[in-house]
Amino acid sequence: MTEAKDDSEELALIYDRECPVCTAYSCSVGVDESHAAGVRRINARDAEHELVRQAKEAGLDLDDGMVVVHQGKLYHGADALNIMARMAPDRGFGNRLNKALVGVLQADDLHAHKRFVPAHFKKLQPMELNPHAALNSLLPVTPTVTRAENGVLTVTIPAMEHFGHNPRATHISVKAIAVFVQSSYQQAIAEASAPALLPAGQPAAETTLTIPAAKGAVCCVLLEVNSLVEENGRMVMLRNKKYTAAGVIAVLVKRAKRMKRRKFPHVHRGGQLAIRELPVAFFQRE
């Protein structure tokens, strides 16, 4: 952390606009109004900008990570991501996801390679999308996720003697959703299973949910639970947040293809070992 000369109520985020990872993050992140008036985004390539000059004068390498300027202080790399996470609002799924993405955004690694590291997405598990109710407070079992060779996902919920629900509910609805992050890491597509209806107040048998296949470098599987009441032959969702839950139950990463090691034919020729056209000299014994 370094002192800066900026006293603005806004928070300034200095990032490399030529880095797709940094650009994607900077476009989606926000701050709570209680911490700052807003986010001012500055291109690190703008050498004439006053805050860019201050960061360079402070000895911060903008090629090694983003810089946040807040209340006259400079935060660089991992410190910048941490302060953005602390100041992000809790309202809404997108903001909670941005907080969780701090574990994914490994500043040095990402900025150096200009790409996401798929394995880091596993840090999204477990992630609760509703701060008022955890998934395991409604479903007292551990769901499992398997992927078939054709890409179809199967979510299995073990049998339950009881489960949580709104006292007014006649049923709960359980649905599985898969978010497939594309290889470009700039787009994602979602597929969902048909919802399963479980009668409230009764033991539930093992439940299987099927999600259609889709391509993606990373697949985040979420489970969503809602309480319903049957009125006049139709199901009506109950909006009490204490009995509605959603969370990440699995993160599946596309495995990189293993390259087979090629065996080069070799022959001995006098005092050399010839490997194709790469001669390697060695000493002969006398």
Both 55 and 111 in one domain: the answer is yes
Helix-, strand-, coil-residue percentages of the chain, each rounded to 5: 20, 35, 45
**pLDDT of 7 higher than 80:** no
Identify whether 153 is part of a domain: yes
More confident residue, 285 or 131: 131
Residue 87, domain CATH: 3.40.30
Please tell me the distance from the alpha carbon of residue 74 to that of residue 68, in angstroms, as a whole number: 6
Tell me, yes or no, whether 109 and 170 share the same domain. Answer: no
**CA distance to 59, 78, 172, 223, 267, per residue, from 196 (Å):** 57, 42, 8, 11, 66
Instruction: Tell me the pLDDT band of 10, cut-offs 50, 70 and 90.
Output: confident
CATH number at residue 220: 2.60.40
Q: Identify whether residues 178 and 96 lie together within a single domain.
A: no
- The pLDDT tens digits for 203-228 are 999 999 999 998 887 888 989 999 99
One domain for residues 109 and 132: no
State the first-to-last Cα distance of the chain, in angstroms, to the nearest integer. Answer: 66
Domain identity same for 171 and 84: no
For residue 278, being part of any structural domain is answered with no
Residue-wise pLDDT tens digits, 79-124 = 887 777 777 665 555 555 555 555 555 444 455 554 556 666 666 6
Res 18: pLDDT: 76
In a domain, 34, yes or no: yes
In which domain, by residue range, is 48 found? 2-115
- To the nearest whole percent, how much of the chain has pLDDT over 90? 33
Q: How far is CA 69 from CA 24, 28, 43, 106, 139, in A?
A: 19, 18, 13, 19, 43
Residue 132 pLDDT: 82
Does residue 263 lie in a domain region?
A: no
Q: CA–CA separation, 39 vs 32, rounded Å?
A: 10
Looking at the structure, tell me whether residues 78 and 145 fall in a common domain: no
Q: Which of 92-101, 132-141, 256-265, 276-285 has the highest mean pLDDT?
A: 132-141
The verdict on residue 25 lying in a domain is yes
Mean per-residue pLDDT, 9-30 = 76
Q: Among the ranges 115-119, 158-162, 281-285, which has the highest mean pLDDT value?
A: 158-162
145 with 246, same domain? yes
Task: Say if 266 falls within a structural domain.
Answer: no
- Tell me what the pLDDT averaged over the chain comes to: 77
The whole-number pLDDT of residue 98 equals 53
Question: Are 98 and 135 contained in the same domain?
Answer: no
Quick: pLDDT tens for 132-145. 888 999 999 999 99
Tokens (6 digits) for 165: 């629900």
Do residues 92 and 189 share a domain?
no
**Res 39: pLDDT:** 86
- For residue 66, give both structure tokens: 């983003």
Q: Are residues 137 and 227 in the same domain?
A: yes
The structural domain count of the chain equals: 2
* Per-residue pLDDT at 275 exceeds 60: no
Say if 236 falls within a structural domain: yes
Instruction: Give residue 181's region: left, alpha or beta (phi > 0; psi -120 to 50).
Output: beta
Gap between the Cα atoms of 171 and 231, Å rounded? 11
pLDDT at res. 122: 67
